[in-house]
């Protein structure tokens, strides 16, 4: 069982400005009995090494697959600068790897300051140390700036609170190891330096970071199952994702916690972290997330609900401002201490009210169904 890390800093919708605390001088008696200072924790490695298991992959693609947050452009720049080597030698980005070769990546140093402007936005910090932090993102907050969203994001809030953060994923995404959609709430891990970021990114690519969600989906879904369907950008709408044979591998597991007459309460875990993955997979299977208007989980589902339950189904939508999806648990191995850590986030009030509304319609399901 992974051990829970003790939170050291937390705020509930408060300013994220750090308070100044004056240290009291130790008394002579206390000085005599003071315990020796613990040995400093070693820094995360400044170099990552990978052993090639299968021949045939281009070097730049290999690195991109093994470092989840490193963009292809960024990887190619590292290769050109000689920060990526194969068997100790600098090679071209198009180099085709052979089984048994060793690939090393010299991690770039983070800049002294982020290019992103800090903003005093409330943060709920579940845990922090000098290497990383875990935050509880509220619904409605964009993770980092992007097209049409120049500021007012979680990344802006993190820069204001922490100052320097990892720029491993790009200067516009300081510290961001993985993201949540704007209207998905819950836990995220943040890296404070590039070495920590790279190590967490590798865990993410190796599926060693475990992310657990809870969701409310329409209709009664199976007791458990897996969606193994590749995802890519929609041809008709660039803001959407869709199941595509030429898309990237995407694997979603679920188990049902409760069934209701017209909906299900499910727990979801991910092997991969593609954009909108949970939402697209459930929608494609015919069980869109309740309140998710982008993927068919809004009022259009009322027409697919039996006449007897259309009123209660409409009541469910009234209680949801957007998709009923929350990241409830996050587990990983601390890249510096090597210890397994786990963090939990309670369901938001909106989600709990939706479940309370559904409670009268709960039903037991026959295992034979």
Where in the sequence numbering do the catalytic residues fall? 181
Phi-psi region of 349 (alpha: psi -120 to 50; beta: other; left: phi over 0): alpha
Q: Where are the beta strands (DSSP E) in 146-295?
A: 185-191, 210-218, 224-228, 231-233, 241-243, 251-260, 263-270
Closest CA to 185 of 255, 262, 289: 289
93: tokens are 């980005």
Quick check: 215 and 184 in contact, CB under 8 A? no
Phi-psi region of 207 (alpha: psi -120 to 50; beta: other; left: phi over 0): left
Residue 75 belongs to what H/E stretch? helix 72-80
Helical axes 59-66 vs 72-80, angle rounded to 10°: 120
Quick check: 293 and 324 in contact, CB under 8 A? no
């Amino acid at each position: 069982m992974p051990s829970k890390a003790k939170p050291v800093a937390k705020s509930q919708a408060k300013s994220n400005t750090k308070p100044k605390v004056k240290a009291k001088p130790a008394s002579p008696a206390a000085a005599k009995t003071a315990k020796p200072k613990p040995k400093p924790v070693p820094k995360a490695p400044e170099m990552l090494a990978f052993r090639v298991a299968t021949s045939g992959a281009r070097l730049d693609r290999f690195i991109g697959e093994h470092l989840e947050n490193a963009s292809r452009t960024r990887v190619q720049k590292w290769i050109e600068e000689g920060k990526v080597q194969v068997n100790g030698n600098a090679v071209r980005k198009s180099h085709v790897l052979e089984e048994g070769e060793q690939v090393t990546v010299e991690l770039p140093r983070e800049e002294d300051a982020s290019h992103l402007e800090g903003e005093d936005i409330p943060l709920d910090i579940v845990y922090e140390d000098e290497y990383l932090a875990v935050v509880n993102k509220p619904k409605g907050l964009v993770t980092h700036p992007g097209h049409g969203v120049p500021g007012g994001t979680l990344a802006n809030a993190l820069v204001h609170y922490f100052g320097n953060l990892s720029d491993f994923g790009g200067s516009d995404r300081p510290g961001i190891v993985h993201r949540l959609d704007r209207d998905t709430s819950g836990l995220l891990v943040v890296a404070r330096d590039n070495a920590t970021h790279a190590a967490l990114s590798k865990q993410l690519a190796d599926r060693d970071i475990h992310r657990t969600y809870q969701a409310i989906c329409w209709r009664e879904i199976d007791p458990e199952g897996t969606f193994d369907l590749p995802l890519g950008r929609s041809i008709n709408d660039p803001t959407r994702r869709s199941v595509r044979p030429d898309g990237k591998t995407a694997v979603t597991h679920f188990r049902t916690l409760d069934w209701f007459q017209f909906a299900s309460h499910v727990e979801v875990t991910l092997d991969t972290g593609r954009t909108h993955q949970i939402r697209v997979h459930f929608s494609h299977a015919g069980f869109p997330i309740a309140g998710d208007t982008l993927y068919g989980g809004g009022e259009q589902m009322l027409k697919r609900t039996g006449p007897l339950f259309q009123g209660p189904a409409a009541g469910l939508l009234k209680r949801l401002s957007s998709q009923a999806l929350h990241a409830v648990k996050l587990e990983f191995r601390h890249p510096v201490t090597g210890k397994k850590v786990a963090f939990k986030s309670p369901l938001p009030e909106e989600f709990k009210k939706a479940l309370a509304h559904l409670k009268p319609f709960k039903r037991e399901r026959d295992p034979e169904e």
